[in-house]
Amino acid sequence: MAKTLKTLGEDVWRTKVEKVNGELFALTYGSIVTQLCRDFNNNYAKVNAQLDKMGYNMGMRLIEEFLARSQLGRCRDFRDTAETVAKVAFKMFLNISPAVTNVAPDAKAFSLVFDENPLAEFVELPEAARRRAVGSAAGPVENGDAMASAPAPLWFSNVLCGVVRGALEMVQLQVDARWVSDVLLGDECSEMRVTLIKVLEDEVPAGED
Amino acid sequence: MDQVSLSAFAFLFSELVQYSQKHVKGIQDLEKRLNLVGYRVGQRLLELLVFRDRGSKRDVKLLNALLFINTNVWKALFGKPADSLEKSSEHDDEYMISDNDLVVNRYISIPKEMSQLNTGAFIAGIVEAMLDGSGFPARVTAHTVPVAGFPFRTTILIKFDAKVMDREKRLADK
């Protein structure tokens, strides 16, 4: 191939993409997350799920634009998919290039490590949203709700997992995408793990609402 | 200035609208919700832009505050100033900022039965927060006001609180 994926991504970003202010995007996303936290009463597990769902819907529609602008054909293998997602897709939409790391030996999983995240531009999470301890005895029991025994942290950028999942499903790849670490939670880096579940055969997935 | 693709924003905004639709009982309610989400953006945007463009000095005259929005804010958000800033001839306390092609609305298609809806309510929320935060409390709404050549022109209608108008009058009379 004459052009590398990296060059392709940069070219598309430079020439074929209409741009908007990244701060407006970041603030809008932040406001959406805040709204969800209010609507779901700070039940972060539910917020995470809703963000993933919204991302899924976005991904399903975004793939078409991706294919049209990148003019790319099929990926040879899942590793190729990883590189394409990282160097072309993320570049084209968010102007970032996460690194592909931790590719599983059977090439059925990979990690994307983000050194910059346009969504999290102005974000600091409150203490409660960062808590991850399982079975912490310190706090009072919440409503006697069994589900609340292991509080989930807020995966702020969870929408991106949904986008990856939705977009890949439209090209017949069923994947699981989830954050394993996030700088907003105090981790060293923000890493998304993408695992191939199976290759779909001619199925049209129902849209989630 | 850092940028993202318009598509990314458009898809996100579309999801916001769809999500909001589930929690509301009508167009007015939906616009209020969008306004609220925009309000939070506006609060932060005010801090950011006043710091950058005004050296943290607040505008105290109404017209200057409006010009700040019409020019600086619009330019920061959309790359160009708004298409027009007008004062209502019927109501002293009303002003209108118009945009022929509001970016947030570009990829939203409104079904016929909801033709009253203007998702620019989100932008109205941003403007409202910026005015409230600058000491010019107002009610801000978005309306579709087509003109020749621009069928999707959005007008942001700003209705200032009475005490703002009183204060302006007192400052002018001095």
- ipTM score of complex: 0.93
- Would you call A110 exposed, middle or buried from its count of C-beta atoms within 10 A (0-12, 13-18, 19+)? buried
Tell me what pLDDT residue A138 has.
Answer: 44
**B98, B83 Cβ separation under 8 angstroms:** yes
CB-based contact B78 A118, cutoff 8 Å: no
Residues of A in contact with B79 (CB under 8 A): 20-21
Interface contact A62, partner B, CB < 8 A: yes
Residues of B in contact with A122 (CB under 8 A): 44
| B1 within some domain | no
Structure tokens at B96: 């209108």
Tell me what pLDDT residue A84 has.
Answer: 95
Count of domains for chain B: 1
From A97, A133, A140, select the one nearest A4 (Cα to Cα). Answer: A97
From A170, A164, A167, A171, select the one nearest A195 (Cα to Cα). Answer: A164
Q: How close A127 comes to chain B (CA, Å)? A: 20
Residues of A in contact with B18 (CB under 8 A): 57, 209
Structure tokens at A122: 């102005």
Residue B45 CA from chain centroid, whole number: 12
**A120, A185 Cβ separation under 8 angstroms:** no
Tell me what pLDDT residue B56 has.
Answer: 74
Q: What is the DSSP letter of B114?
A: G
Residue labelled with tokens 């399903």 = A60
φ/ψ of B88, rounded to 5, equals -70, 140
- CB proximity under 8 Å: B 80-109 to A: 103
What structural domains does chain A harbor? 21-124+153-199 (3.30.1380.20)
User: What is the block-wise mean pLDDT of chain B (174 residues), using blocks of 10 residues?
Assistant: 89 95 90 96 94 82 93 92 94 95 87 87 96 95 92 94 92 79
Tell me what pLDDT residue B55 has.
Answer: 78
Residues of chain A with pLDDT under 50: 1-2, 135-149
**B77, A25 Cβ separation under 8 angstroms:** no
Range of the domain at B156: 6-173
Q: What is the DSSP letter of B113?
A: G
**Element at B64 (helix H, strand E):** helix B62-67
Q: Strands, E, within chain B: which ranges?
A: 3-5, 84-87, 94-99, 138-144, 154-160
Q: What is the CATH number of the domain that holds B87?
A: 3.30.1380.20
| B12 within some domain | yes
Q: How close A171 comes to chain B (CA, Å)? A: 19
Tell me what pLDDT residue A204 has.
Answer: 60
Best interface-test mutation with B: which of A10, A15, A24 has the largest number of B CBs within 10 A?
A: A24
Compute the distance between CA of residue B56 and CA of residue B47 in angstroms, rounded to an integer. Answer: 8
Tell me what pLDDT residue B67 has.
Answer: 94
Interface contact A14, partner B, CB < 8 A: no
CB-based contact A35 B36, cutoff 8 Å: yes
Tell me what pLDDT residue A71 has.
Answer: 93
Interface contact B77, partner A, CB < 8 A: yes
Compute the distance between CA of residue B65 and CA of residue B173 in angstroms, rounded to an integer. Answer: 19
From B118, B129, B157, select the one nearest B141 (Cα to Cα). Answer: B157
CB-based contact B4 A118, cutoff 8 Å: yes
| B136 within some domain | yes
| B48 within some domain | yes
Q: How close B165 comes to chain A (CA, Å)? A: 30
